[in-house]
Amino acid sequence: MDYLGFLNEIAKSRKVIGYFDTYFPEEFAYAMGLHPVRIMSDDEEPVRANEFLQGFCCPYAKNILEQALKKKLNFLSAAIFTRYCDSLRGVYEVWKSEKLSPVVEFIRYSQVVRETAKDYLSLEFKDVFNRVKKALGCDYDYDSLKYAISKVNKKRKALQRLYSMRKEGKLNISSEDFYKTVFSSTWKPIDEFLKSCEALFLRNNSVNVNFDDKKVVLSATELDNLNFFKLLDEIGFFIVSDDIASGTRYVKDFVSEEGDTLDDLIENIALRYIMKPPCSVKDPSDRRIDELIEEVKTSGAKGVIFFRTRFCDSEGIEYAFIKRRLETEKIPHLYIESDHRLSNYQQLRTRLEAFYEQIVGI
């Protein structure tokens, strides 16, 4: 069953809560018995969304609004946005005014990546989830939140193992299949996801492959279109690791399970989400760049492919700093720009093929 079919089915037995970036603290949703899902882009062309959003809004933001306006996301009981970028902020305003889901909320994150923001964010989480509790008739307490934290930590551990196996050449699956699995962790029930990981671990137990010449690291914000990964497979690249919001930036760092009170646990969640590997919308995002370089060095990648979603300002600005660091480190890279539909597919193919020849040297 496809992603939307699956979520429509789940919504028959559980309330589904949608989110749009990985700053959403999914632990609260699980603790309240809700099913959190990251809304992924599909191949819808924005038509109705253009009535509401400016031409320079990013195509991902327009696409998810289009899906909602076309009632494809009617299975959602709630949609929760966070303070991420201006495009998503615009989508939130339209979502709220058009009442595109019964509950619409916005978590106002502090823009800075600093431990001192923890107290503020804890209060903000309490405020937002108190309103969600009231509106959806659900609740969370110390035990349910502690259990949810440990479940999400298990999911992140399984994902970390998948990434390690990939780096060690012990996971012989295509990039398309690898990212299909990784992205499914943001919409499948956790137990089901863990089962599919176990099956992969067992199947690849004794695998040992060497893709040394073809290894690259992919850097992007969101990149849901699996056809892009298929294209990279066809050209011959092996995506050994990444710097993607719903990839390694989602996987790294756990929420501490220590603490005797509900407030302790909420503070632990706040701390993890403030200090997690930052996206380009946060300040400072040095950790992201340091870790990208680290991924290249530890994986033995030959280069970096930087995919910028068209009109994404923060990625455009951050690219200047990433480029400088990659050049200083003498790491070859390719900058490409496209949208969720890969509308410039043939141009992308040509540029990627040229980069492949440059780094693999065939």
- Stretch of 79-87, 98-106, 229-237, 292-300 contacting ligand SF4, by CB under 6 A: 79-87
Residue 301 CA to residue 209 CA, distance in Å, equals 15
Judged by beta carbon, residue 144 or residue 338, the one nearer ligand SF4 is 338
- Stretch of 1-9, 55-63, 97-105, 121-129 contacting ligand SF4, by CB under 6 A: 55-63
Tokens 């709630």 belong to residue:
78
Q: Are 128 and 105 in contact (CB under 8 A)?
A: yes
Of these, 23, 24, 30, 60, which contacts ligand SF4 (CB under 6 A)?
Answer: 60
Judged by beta carbon, residue 7 or residue 220, the one nearer ligand SF4 is 220
Q: Which residues, 170 to 229, sit near ligand SF4 by CB under 6 A?
A: 221-222
Q: Is 182 exposed, middle or buried (0-12, 13-18, 19+ CB in 10 A)?
A: buried
Residue 350 has which token pair? 């040509």
Kindly state the smallest distance separating residue 58's Cβ from ligand SF4, in Å.
3
Q: Which residues, 227 to 266, sit near ligand SF4 by CB under 6 A?
A: none
Q: Which residues, 291 to 350, sit near ligand SF4 by CB under 6 A?
A: 309, 312, 314-315
DSSP 3-state of 177: helix
Pick the closest to residue 17 from 184, 150, 133 (CA basis).
133
Kindly state the smallest distance separating residue 314's Cβ from ligand SF4, in Å.
6
Non-local (6+) Cβ contacts of 123 within 8 A are none
Of these, 31, 58, 107, 152, which contacts ligand SF4 (CB under 6 A)?
Answer: 58
Q: Is 289 in the site for ligand SF4 (CB under 6 A)?
A: no
Across the strands, what pairs with 138?
A: none
Judged by beta carbon, residue 169 or residue 278, the one nearer ligand SF4 is 278
Of these, 88, 148, 200, 289, which contacts ligand SF4 (CB under 6 A)?
Answer: 88
Which string of DSSP letters, residue by residue, matches 201-221?
A: HHHTTT-----GGGEEEEE-S
Residue 301 CA to residue 212 CA, distance in Å, equals 7
- Stretch of 1-9, 85-93, 97-105, 324-332 contacting ligand SF4, by CB under 6 A: 85-93
Kindly state the smallest distance separating residue 6's Cβ from ligand SF4, in Å.
23
Residues in binding contact with ligand SF4, number by CB under 6 A: 14
Which string of DSSP letters, residue by residue, matches 21-84?
A: STTS-HHHHHHTT-EEEEPPP-SPPPSSHHHHS-TTS-HHHHHHHHHHHTTTTTTEEEEEEES-
Kindly state the smallest distance separating residue 77's Cβ from ligand SF4, in Å.
23
CA angle 197, 226, 358 (to 5 degrees): 105
Binding site for ligand SF4 (CB under 6 A): 58, 60-61, 84-85, 87-88, 221-222, 281, 309, 312, 314-315
